[in-house]
Homo-oligomer: A and B are copies of this chain.
Amino acid sequence: RERAMSKVRRLADLATSRPQEETLLRMSIISVVDPGFWTRFGVHFGLFFGALQGQGTPSQLAYWMSKGALTMQGITGCFGMTELGHGSNVAGLETTATFDPETDEFDVHSPTLTSTKWWIGGAAHTATHCTVYAQLIVGGKRYGTKTFVVQLRDTKTFELMPGVNIGDLGKKMGRDQIDNGWIRFTHVRIPRSHMLMKHTKVLRSGKVVEPPLAQLAYGALIQGRVSMVSDSANVAKRALTIATRYASVRRQFGDGTPGAPERKLLDYPIHQHRLLPLMAQTFAMTFAAREMTANYHQLMKQLGAVDGAQGADASDAIKNLKETHATSAGLKAFCTWMCLNIIDQCRQSLGGHGYSAYTGLAQAYADFTVHCTWEGDNTILMLQCGRYLVATALEARNGQPLPDNLAYLKGALAAGAAPRATGDVGALDTLQAAWSSVAANAILSAVRAFEAGLAKGLSKDNAYEFSSAARLHAARMHTYTYLLHRFAAQVAQSPAALRPVLARLAQLFGAHSAVQHSGEFLQSGFYTGEQIEALKAFVNSACAEVRADAVPLTDAFGYTDYVVNSPLGRYDGNVYEKYFELVTSLNPQKPVPYFDSLIRPLLERTNESDDGPELEFDQE
Contact indicator A173/B577 (Cβ below 8 Å): no
* Alpha-carbon distance between A579 and B170 when the two chains are bound, in angstroms: 12
* Alpha-carbon distance between A268 and B468 when the two chains are bound, in angstroms: 9
Contact indicator B87/A583 (Cβ below 8 Å): no
Contact A85 B251, CB 8 Å, known A173-B355, A355-B172, A358-B171: yes
What 0/1 pattern do residues 352 to 381 of A give for CB contact below 8 A with B? 101111100011011001101100011100
Tell whether A307 is near chain B: CB-to-CB under 8 Å: no
Tell whether A62 is near chain B: CB-to-CB under 8 Å: no
A156 vs chain B, min Cβ distance (A): 8
Q: Which of A497-533 contact B (CB under 8 A)?
A: 515, 517-523, 525, 529, 532-533
Q: Which of A315-374 contact B (CB under 8 A)?
A: 347-348, 351-352, 354-358, 362-363, 365-366, 369-370, 372-373
B contact residues around A525 at 8 Å (CB): 529
Contact indicator A357/B170 (Cβ below 8 Å): yes
Contact indicator B270/A383 (Cβ below 8 Å): yes
Number of chain A residues close to chain B: CB under 8 A? 123
Chain B CB within 10 A, most for which of A89, A383, A599: A599
A128 vs chain B, min Cβ distance (A): 7
B contact residues around A370 at 8 Å (CB): 355
Tell whether A617 is near chain B: CB-to-CB under 8 Å: no
* Alpha-carbon distance between A358 and B517 when the two chains are bound, in angstroms: 37
Contact indicator B88/A173 (Cβ below 8 Å): no
Q: Which of A83-102 contact B (CB under 8 A)?
A: 84-89, 92
Contact indicator B270/A599 (Cβ below 8 Å): no
* Alpha-carbon distance between A357 and B604 when the two chains are bound, in angstroms: 38
Q: Which of A532-557 contact B (CB under 8 A)?
A: 532-533, 536, 540
A605 vs chain B, min Cβ distance (A): 6
A157 vs chain B, min Cβ distance (A): 9
Q: Which of A192-223 contact B (CB under 8 A)?
A: none
Chain B CB within 10 A, most for which of A9, A85, A522, A601: A522
State the number of copies, please.
Answer: 2
B contact residues around A303 at 8 Å (CB): none
B contact residues around A274 at 8 Å (CB): 379
Contact A255 B351, CB 8 Å, known A76-B602, A522-B522, A598-B5: no
B contact residues around A362 at 8 Å (CB): 172-173, 366
Closest residue on chain B to residue A263 by CB atoms:
B465
User: CB within 8 A of A594: which of B5, B256, B354?
Assistant: B5
* Alpha-carbon distance between A355 and B128 when the two chains are bound, in angstroms: 25
Tell whether A266 is near chain B: CB-to-CB under 8 Å: no
Contact indicator B116/A580 (Cβ below 8 Å): yes
User: CB within 8 A of A173: which of B357, B522, B523, B595?
Assistant: B357
Q: Which residues of A pack against B, CB within 8 Å?
A: 1-2, 5-6, 8-9, 12-13, 68, 72-76, 82, 84-89, 92, 113-114, 116, 118-119, 125-126, 128, 155, 158, 166-174, 182, 250-256, 262, 268-270, 273-274, 347-348, 351-352, 354-358, 362-363, 365-366, 369-370, 372-373, 377-379, 383, 445, 459, 461-462, 465-466, 468-469, 472, 515, 517-523, 525, 529, 532-533, 536, 540, 576-577, 579-580, 583-584, 586-587, 589, 591-595, 598-607
Beyond the given A68-B603, A84-B580, please list 12 additional residue pairs across the A-B interface where CB-CB is below 8 A: A2-B593, A76-B599, A85-B251, A92-B254, A113-B580, A119-B352, A155-B603, A173-B362, A351-B373, A523-B529, A523-B532, A525-B529
- Interchain Cβ contacts under 8 Å between A and B, 26 examples: A2-B598, A5-B599, A9-B602, A12-B602, A74-B603, A76-B603, A86-B252, A92-B254, A119-B352, A126-B592, A158-B592, A171-B358, A173-B363, A173-B365, A182-B580, A256-B461, A269-B465, A273-B469, A348-B372, A348-B377, A348-B378, A351-B373, A469-B536, A518-B523, A519-B519, A523-B529
